[in-house]
Amino acid sequence: MVFKYKGIEKFYTDQGKGSALVLLHGFLEDSSMWQELIPELTKKNRVITIDLLGHGKTGCLGYVHTMEDMAAAVYAILKHLKLRKYIFIGHSMGGYVALAFTRLYPESIKGLCLLNSTYEEDDNERKQLRARANKMVQSNYVNMVRMSFANLFSAESKLKHAKAFNLALEIALKTPIQGYMAANEGMRQREDTSVFFAEASFKKVVLLGKKDTILNVNDMLKFTNKHTIETHVFSEGHMSHIENKEEVTQQILHFIEKI
């Protein structure tokens, strides 16, 4: 379905009945990343998936999409659907957007699942890498997207899940240059939300991949253990919905049941 927002089209899907689950994809992904989880989730829940700004079938608003910009666009759709309370599941960048949303609209949140995502801001090295990538992508887009996306999988995962990897890469390559640059800059600018996340009263769970090359899993585990935040670590990397699909599905269902 299409929703008009600030002169652009935003794409979303709305399926099932029950408690509202809002699924937010990551960088260079779109709402189709959830397609294999949706049949299980819609058995008892209403599931909304949304293409974030500059991704999938949703247009761009500029060359910087802050996480707050993306959150406001998500809120507009949920308000349009007349939803007042929901559970968020955010993969990678989708988790950053969900965290921005919970700060902007705290009264709406029943629970938040961070899937291969973090409450930490980028360190200085990653901020520099994002700035460099935004320069390089303007002249070598395809190779930059391939490199960015390939880093999300281990060599073993790319072989074991070759079909899913190729499909996900195909979707990533459809992301417009403007969408790439705007999201990348938005992530570079995002603030640290560690204290907010630790102190928030809504239900929360963190799902991580042991071999994740994007997140500092060991540091995150120290933090979540210190603050008694439920955390589960799967055997593979950053793309747990592909690499550890069954375990991810079960943990998400278990989290929803507890709320």
Instruction: Please state the separation of Cα 14 from the chain's center in Å.
Output: 18
Task: Tell me the backbone φ, ψ of residue 24, rounded to 5 degrees.
Answer: -120, 125
Residues 241 and 249: their CA atoms lie apart, in Å, by: 8
Low-confidence residues of the chain: pLDDT under 50:
none
The pTM of the full predicted model, rounded to 2 decimals, is 0.98
pLDDT at 151: 83
Per-residue pLDDT at 156:
86
CB 49 within 8 A of CB 23: yes
Q: What does the pLDDT read at residue 211? A: 94
Q: How far is it, in rounded angstroms, from Cα 109 to Cα 103?
A: 10
> Taking the CB of residue 255, how many other CB atoms lie within 10 A of it?
20
Domains of the chain: 2-258 (3.40.50.1820)
Q: What is the largest CA-CA distance in the chain?
A: 48
In contact, 11 and 76? CB cutoff 8 Å: no
Other C-beta atoms within 10 Å of 219: how many?
11
Q: How far apart (Å, rounded) are the C-alpha atoms in residues 55 and 60?
A: 8
